[in-house]
Amino acid sequence: MRLSLFSVADPFPDPVGHGRDRLAELVALAEAADAIGLAAAWVAEHHFDGTGLCPSPPVLLAAMAARTRRLRLGSLVSVLPFHSPIEVAEEYALVDRLSGGRLNFGVGSGYLPLEFEGFGIDPATKREAFDRALETILTAWRGEPVRAPSPSAVPVRLNVTPLQRPHPPLWLAIQRREAIPFVARRGAGVALIPYATVAGLPELAEEIRDYRAALPAGVAGTVSVAVHVYAGARADAARAALQRYLDSRLATHSAFYQEKVRRDPRQASAEAIERSGFAIFGEVPEVVERLHAFGAAGADEILGLFDFGGLPWEEASASVRALGRALSLGPP
């Protein structure tokens, strides 16, 4: 089981983050993850409100690529209905080239109402737009001609294609269990965000079994699972930060998490998320032991949310280094 860094780059400027440059912090956190041997750094795409500060993952990933050497670099996710698929193909191909072939390409169809409203997109059209965009991107990456959705557009070929062939590894992020077979049949990796969707590790293990059962013959697949993580002596500070983070998810109408809280209002508390196993706070040996439970449930990769809810950067960075050393991922 691999350990990686995942961040939504939530801002929380007040009252806990006066003057903080969250994007610079995230690049520095990727440097720490690279030095200690974590597998990857993943960043989310968000727009328009306090959900996250990164509207363009390829720009942030390119900055990380310049400051790291072996860390894989992933989008989680590129929200395909919001963009021209040809531009997405070009930008992420360039990231793969600049990073020496280290791109992990995670995609999704979006879920926050304000983002669809801001782009003037009907959410009812997102699945069709997603499917069409992904087909265009993969076709373009194979070096084949693609055409923009305009009557006047002519077929074009990319002048920059990815270093990884036939394309960078593909992940789809999902929050609905019924979407799991769709992802598996594509042979793509699946990214799961269990704090927002499922009740505990047994239910997560069921989802992972669904995915494995639907994979094509001979395809191993990859399961990546997001977990809030803090390893150190200030677990109470991490719990307070998680509560700020959860409150922000509800305030921004994160539909799947809202539905989970509607079914069980206790799920709005950091204590409940920690009790379910989807937030792991404590001293290093305890955190390591609890992380291994995800491997037992079938996960291949833990997407560690280390920087959340205004937790000081120094705490997040120290946690990355401590877990890297404990898991023998890098130098002492």
pLDDT band at residue 329, thresholds of 50, 70 and 90? low
Domain spans, the chain: 2-326
Residues 58 and 95: beta-carbon distance below 8 Å: yes
Q: Which residue in 166, 190, 162 sits closest to 89, CA to CA? A: 162
Q: Is the bond preceding residue 15 a cis peptide, omega within 30 degrees?
A: yes
Q: Is the pLDDT of residue 71 over 90?
A: yes
Strands 301-305 and 170-174, by their bridges, are unpaired
pLDDT band at residue 122, thresholds of 50, 70 and 90? very high
Q: Is the pLDDT of residue 300 over 70?
A: yes
pLDDT of residue 285: 95
pLDDT: is 20 or 159 the higher one? 159
User: Would you mind telling me the total number of residues written for the chain in this entry?
Assistant: 332
CA distance 218 to 225: 22
Report helix, strand or coil for 139: helix
- Considering 47-51, 196-200, 206-210, the range whose residues carry the highest mean pLDDT is 206-210
Q: Where are the alpha helices (DSSP H) in 99-161?
A: 113-119, 126-141
pLDDT of residue 227: 97
Q: Is the pLDDT of residue 316 over 90?
A: yes
Residues in contact with 269: Cβ distance below 8 Å, sequence separation at least 6, in sequence order = 243, 246
Secondary structure tally for the chain: helices H, strands E? 12, 9
Each residue of 244-269: pLDDT tens digit? 988 888 887 677 787 888 887 877 78
Across the chain, mean pLDDT equals 93
pTM score of the predicted model? 0.94
First to last CA, the chain: 20
Q: Please give the structure tokens belonging to residue 228.
A: 């809030």
Strand partners, 230: 281
pLDDT band at residue 13, thresholds of 50, 70 and 90? low
Strand partners, 128: none
CATH 3.40.50.2300 is right for the domain spanning 2-326 = no
CA distance 282 to 231: 5
CA distance 286 to 38: 19
pLDDT of residue 136: 98
pLDDT of residue 196: 87
Strand partners, 52: none
pLDDT band at residue 14, thresholds of 50, 70 and 90? low
Side-chain half-sphere CA neighbours of 113 within 13 A: 9
